[in-house]
Amino acid sequence: MVDTAMLEVATQGDAIDGTDLQASIDSLRQIANSLMPLDTSALSVEELQAIAQRQAELRSAASKLVDAQIALLAGEAKITADHINSAIGFAQGVVGQIADIKDKLAKAGALLDFIGAVMTGNGKVILQAAHTLKGQLGR
């Protein structure tokens, strides 16, 4: 995750470009694909619907990042695409190790909350969301 002591302060015009978030986009798509187990016979209709909903949300978040131009708030922490890619990659690794589908869905939901914070461009909010995500991932 992000070491706040090492961050610069964002200035007017600093932004995160979607092209630099390709690793995050790929990770979100891979997480979405990994949510549906190969054998769905033991799952209820409600569980299958919850999986499909979370997959759609993850794919939508990935699509939003493709064309993103996230303007960072001047005077706040200067978050970079590398920070975002690292956090999402970390979450992907954790989610990939979880067998319980309800736990996977919850952790993927926490990741979506983080993405929402990223889209604000507010370094303080993004850092808080990163710490929250780390806690929710159990790491």
How many Cβ atoms from other residues are within 10 Å of residue 114's Cβ? 25
Q: Residue 98's closest CA among 45, 44, 136, 41?
A: 136
Provide φ and ψ at 77, rounded to 5°.
Answer: -60, 140
Interval 65-75: pLDDT, tens: 998 999 999 99
Residue 2 or 12, more confident: 12
Domain boundaries, the chain: 4-136
CA atoms within 13 A on the CB side of 63: 7
Of the ranges 31-40, 108-117, 118-127, 130-139, which one carries the lowest mean pLDDT score?
A: 31-40
78: left (phi over 0), alpha (psi -120 to 50) or beta: beta
Residue 81: CB atoms within 10 A of its CB come to 21
Q: Which residues of 118-139 are buried (b: 16+ CB within 10 A; e: fewer)?
A: bbbbbbebbbebbeebbebbee
Summarised one tens digit per residue, pLDDT across range 77-118 is 999 999 999 999 999 999 999 989 999 999 999 999 999 999
Percent of the chain with pLDDT over 90: 85
* Residue found by looking up tokens 């939003």 in the block: 64
- Look up residue 41 and give its amino acid: S
Closest CA to 26 of 99, 81, 101: 81
